[in-house]
Structure 1
Amino acid sequence: MADAPLVGIVLVSHSAAVAESVAALATGLAAGGTTAPVAAAGGTEDGGLGTSAELIAAAAARVDRGAGVALLTDLGSAVLTVKALLAEGDELPPGTRLLDAPFVEGAVAAVVTASAGAGLDAVGAAATEAYDYRKV
């Protein structure tokens, strides 16, 4: 499994700083070996708040290694932008999937799982299971 391509992860936020910080946290917690490719796609092209289909598509292309790409989003319009890209069918690499997961906890679970060499289904399951993490 170590020689197999890893699932790529794209973190889509309305804020570039938030996406980059969550990417740094997730990759830092997955450290200790090979880390899955992770890209932040936050904000707009001019540095403002919002989401950009172009930034998301470029990030997905950067992390695509042929094992699928998992997209995690923060808020409403980020979800809508990703869904629109998926519906178009030609803007994102084959095997790209939107994960229904909490942004921070899901990102950490996805990156750790992908870094261990798991496939897209397992990465998605790990991210989704993050909804069950209790704090009290």
Structure 2
Amino acid sequence: MVGLLVVSHSEKAAAGIVEIAAEMASDVSLVAVGGDPDGGIGTDADAIAAGLAEADDGDGVVVLVDLGSATMNAELAVEMADTEAVLADAPVLEGTVNAAVHAAGSKATLDSTLDAAEEARGMTKL
């Protein structure tokens, strides 16, 4: 099954997004990584790399990020890791929920789960 990794500058934000997505797809491997090594606001490439390994069930990982340096550190972590992973160009909450619901399906692939996450870019709320 394709796993999902949520990367945020805030540990609480990443955990909250995973909590919401897990309500929709409890069988999917959902991992949250957030904050800097000292517990503050920021991101850490080593923690992201560890999150990739944790999220990987063998079919790869879709990574969803919140802001600037999260993207940079996630890209670095993907290069460092042995896990097949792709970054989604998607809003982090909506993209995570879309991807989780899709990944729960028996025919989900890494590419199709990435597509499901990125479909959230066009969602309207009203």
Q: Identify the TM-score tier after normalising by the shorter chain.
A: over 0.9
AA partner of residue 15 (structure 1): S
AA partner of residue 11 (structure 1): V
Greater radius of gyration (CA): 1
1:3 paired residue number: none
Scaled by the length of structure 1, what TM-score is found?
0.87
Which of 12, 16, 20 is 2:7 aligned to?
12
Matched-pair contact (CA < 8 Å) for 1:69–1:93: no
CA RMSD of aligned residues (A): 1.1
1:130 paired residue number: 120
Scaled by the length of structure 2, what TM-score is found?
0.93
Matched-pair contact (CA < 8 Å) for 1:64–1:93: no
Give structure 1 regions of 4+ aligned residues with deviation exceeding 3 angstroms. none
- Gaps in structure 1 of 5+ consecutive residues: 1-5
1:59 paired residue number: 51
SS of corresponding position for 1:109: helix
Separation in 1, partners of 2:86, 2:101: 17
Q: Does 1:119 align with 2:109?
A: yes
- Gaps in structure 2 of 5+ consecutive residues: none
Matched-pair contact (CA < 8 Å) for 1:19–1:41: yes
Which of 6, 23, 29 is 2:18 aligned to?
23
Separation in 2, partners of 1:12, 1:83: 11
Per-residue CA deviations over 1:35-87 (Å, capped at 9, x if unaligned) read 1101001001221100011110111101111101110000011011112233x
AA partner of residue 26 (structure 1): A
Q: How many residues align?
A: 125
Matched-pair contact (CA < 8 Å) for 2:62–2:114: yes
Matched-pair contact (CA < 8 Å) for 1:69–1:120: yes
1:93 offset after TM fit, Å?
Answer: 3.1
1:95 paired residue number: 84
